[in-house]
Chain A
Amino acid sequence: MAAIRPRSSSFSRSTSAASNSVPGLKHGPNGTIFLSSGIPDLDKILGGGFTLGSLVMVMEDPEAPHHMLLLRNFMSQGLVHHQPLIYASPAKDPRGFLGTLPSVMASKDDKSRVHESEQEKGLRIAWQYKKYFGEQNSDSQRDGKSEYCCDFDLRKPLERHFFTGKHIDCITLRYSADLSTFHDRCSSFLSQTPRTNGNIVVGRIAIQSLCSPQCEFSDNEWDMLSFVRSLKSLVRLSNSVAIITFPPSLVSPAFSKRLQHLADTLVSVKAIPDEDKELAKLLTGYQDMVGLLSIHKVARINTQVPVILEATTFSMKLHKRRSLTLECLNQAPVDGSSGTSYGTSGSCSSSSKTGALDF
């Protein structure tokens, strides 16, 4: 009888016990480790979260601060897991932003949400079935995963005890003539989270509106590119994730494309106009949406296979005005089919009602 030996092929997954015990980390494919983005739905879409050592770029909408929602959840999740954090922004007092970080949703609220979704299950409608796949999965995994990714309540500020005794660095980019001092701080920060086996210290870097015109260096695009490139190489060697938001409309298109190429994971957010009647007709749940989130690129570290998502654009909704959820876009049923009048209003007349946007 052949003895069972540990396989030494290069394809076996190496699961070290040490990293399993670190809360907030999850093993991914190709020897990568995932870190939560702080938004349960986004983690699910990305296949687990942000990959350690990756650079995440968020393209801002100039008219709405939706990128702040992503940053807030990302930072809060890190603080809840006691991970060191650097936050840089062009604001005069970046530390003030910490006061707006959301707090973990209490378990009571959590239960009511689950309960509610169970009630709704009685009223399933065929064209909305995709909504429910996700809900069921998250319910069943909630117990095991609660440590990995929390639900955040956007209305309550994060409790004070999460800020005390932590390594939180807030930096304003407004008064510095170039990025070299900030770069040095990032590199000393990242040297504290080296890629070693054994105990893993995870760091998070959040940079808001890198190219905004308040910063003096914003007219030197090559300096910024060199900074991002350098940050990318530093992050890749460390156990950290850097998230940078930038306004693509304020920089030259070529520069924006270069930044997009540098990103490992590329996401864009868009506000939706309040009274867009045509869009409201096309999409269900339009009135609950606060914006759209598109995923352009998912990090592929140690692999050449691209991640093809089922959908790339998702609607951002605030569930009960508290927690940020992402949903696939659901096309609304055509007006005419909702009534009893299959016979009276034919398919021709109903399709003509949808107006200029014709599929």
Chain B
Amino acid sequence: MSLNLLDEALDGGGGGGGGGRVILIEDCVETSGAFVVHHLLKRSLSNPHSSDVVVFLSFANPFSHYERILRKMGCNLVIQRDNKRLLFFDMLMLKRDKGKKGEDLLLALYGEVQKAVEVLSREGIQHITVIIDDISLMEVDANGSSNLVLDFLHYCHTLTAQFGCSLITLNHEDVYSTVDRPALLLQSEYLADVVIKAEPLATGLAADVHGQLTVVNKGLRLDGSGNSSSRIHNFHFKIKETSVDYFYPGSQLK
């Protein structure tokens, strides 16, 4: 599998595909970061021989949407789900009881996630990835209480320490741009090892460049030179049906 710029930025130029990491994806109305979620989902499931499992909490789209996109990218989610390598929680289509509070819903959801992760790790599964798409819709379920959502994220964060899970979350940065001190965004940025920002070009959208990605890798990896500072990668991307082209500004791949 050839590595693209995004994979290189995530791996920090070497080092294994990294379990136990927390990745935060931020996007805005103009440029959706959903394609990064699709890419990471495919990456987690791509090795047919491994037993890596993905726990996917979808608040944004139904299963059929992801299934169709990933099929074009060469990854059959239905088979993965049947093989128990993908646990899909469809929170968009979930029927919500009127009397039930958001707190109970999120608690119940976390209970299910925790149970699933515990069972999987007892079975000897090495890498479990929890993906949440997206956090801002979780706040709607919590009826605007960002503390509830933060609690949920903290609980998930303990899973990464306890079982070596990876946690991948998507959030919309521009929602919080007018808030004075957006605790949810700031804290989730603080918890993350890697922050990926998807932004439009300053000059607007173009047919050849769909936007730019900024990857801040805070991972402390001591390489030969002893360089342990966080690395910032910046590159442009063009989204296609089957893949995404990543390239440095001005060096469009032919």
User: A285–B101 Cα gap in the complex (Å)?
Assistant: 55
User: A230–B98 Cα gap in the complex (Å)?
Assistant: 12
Are B68 and A302 interface neighbours, CB within 8 A? Answer: yes
Known A303-B68, A306-B239, A308-B205: A258·B136 in contact at CB below 8 Å: yes
Give 1 or 0 for each of A226-246: 1 = CB within 8 Å of chain B CB.
Answer: 100110110011000000000
Question: CB of B83 within 8 A of chain A?
Answer: no
Chain A contact surface mostly: helix
User: A232–B140 Cα gap in the complex (Å)?
Assistant: 13
Are B206 and A261 interface neighbours, CB within 8 A? Answer: no
Shortest C-beta distance, A61 to chain B (Å), equals 18
Contact of A254 among B143, B179, B210, B239 (CB under 8 A): B179
Question: CB of A162 within 8 A of chain B?
Answer: no
Tally B residues with Cβ within 8 Å of A.
38
Q: Which residues of B contact A232 (CB under 8 A)?
A: 92
Are B68 and A30 interface neighbours, CB within 8 A? Answer: yes
Name the CB-closest residue of B to A180: B98
Name the CB-closest residue of A to B134: A261
Are B93 and A225 interface neighbours, CB within 8 A? Answer: no
Given contacts A301-B65, A302-B68, A304-B35, 13 further A-B contacts (CB under 8 A): A30-B68, A222-B140, A222-B143, A226-B143, A229-B137, A237-B62, A253-B178, A254-B178, A257-B29, A261-B175, A266-B29, A302-B65, A308-B206
Are A296 and B30 interface neighbours, CB within 8 A? Answer: yes
User: A183–B200 Cα gap in the complex (Å)?
Assistant: 35
User: A165–B69 Cα gap in the complex (Å)?
Assistant: 41
Question: CB of B38 within 8 A of chain A?
Answer: yes
Are B210 and A308 interface neighbours, CB within 8 A? Answer: yes
Shortest C-beta distance, A14 to chain B (Å), equals 12
Q: Which residues of B contact A196 (CB under 8 A)?
A: none
Question: CB of B64 within 8 A of chain A?
Answer: yes
Are A230 and B96 interface neighbours, CB within 8 A? Answer: yes
Question: CB of B214 within 8 A of chain A?
Answer: no
Known A266-B29, A297-B29: A302·B64 in contact at CB below 8 Å: yes
Contact of A237 among B35, B93, B206, B210 (CB under 8 A): B93
Are A257 and B175 interface neighbours, CB within 8 A? Answer: yes
Question: In the complex, how many residue pairs between chain A and chain B have their CB atoms under 8 Å apart?
Answer: 78
Name the CB-closest residue of B to A309: B205
Are A226 and B93 interface neighbours, CB within 8 A? Answer: no
Are B143 and A10 interface neighbours, CB within 8 A? Answer: no
Are A303 and B64 interface neighbours, CB within 8 A? Answer: no
Give 1 or 0 for each of B73-104: 1 = CB within 8 Å of chain A CB.
Answer: 00000000000000000001100101000000
User: Could you list 5 A-B pairs, sorted by A, with CB under 8 Å?
Assistant: A258-B140, A261-B175, A266-B29, A303-B68, A306-B210
Are B175 and A258 interface neighbours, CB within 8 A? Answer: yes
Q: Which residues of A contact B241 (CB under 8 A)?
A: 303-305
Question: CB of B144 within 8 A of chain A?
Answer: yes
Name the CB-closest residue of B to A236: B62
Question: CB of B34 within 8 A of chain A?
Answer: yes
Shortest C-beta distance, B211 to chain A (Å), equals 9
Within 8 A of B (CB), among A290-306: 296-297, 300-306
Question: CB of B154 within 8 A of chain A?
Answer: no
Are B136 and A261 interface neighbours, CB within 8 A? Answer: yes
Q: Which residues of B contact A303 (CB under 8 A)?
A: 68-69, 72, 241
Question: CB of A109 within 8 A of chain B?
Answer: no
Question: CB of A260 within 8 A of chain B?
Answer: yes
Shortest C-beta distance, B61 to chain A (Å), equals 8
Name the CB-closest residue of B to A307: B205
User: A301–B32 Cα gap in the complex (Å)?
Assistant: 13
Are B71 and A10 interface neighbours, CB within 8 A? Answer: yes
Q: Which residues of A contact B179 (CB under 8 A)?
A: 254
Question: CB of A23 within 8 A of chain B?
Answer: no
Known A304-B239, A305-B240: A225·B175 in contact at CB below 8 Å: no
Contact of A31 among B68, B175, B176, B207 (CB under 8 A): B68
Shortest C-beta distance, B93 to chain A (Å), equals 5
Are B140 and A304 interface neighbours, CB within 8 A? Answer: no
Question: CB of B197 within 8 A of chain A?
Answer: no
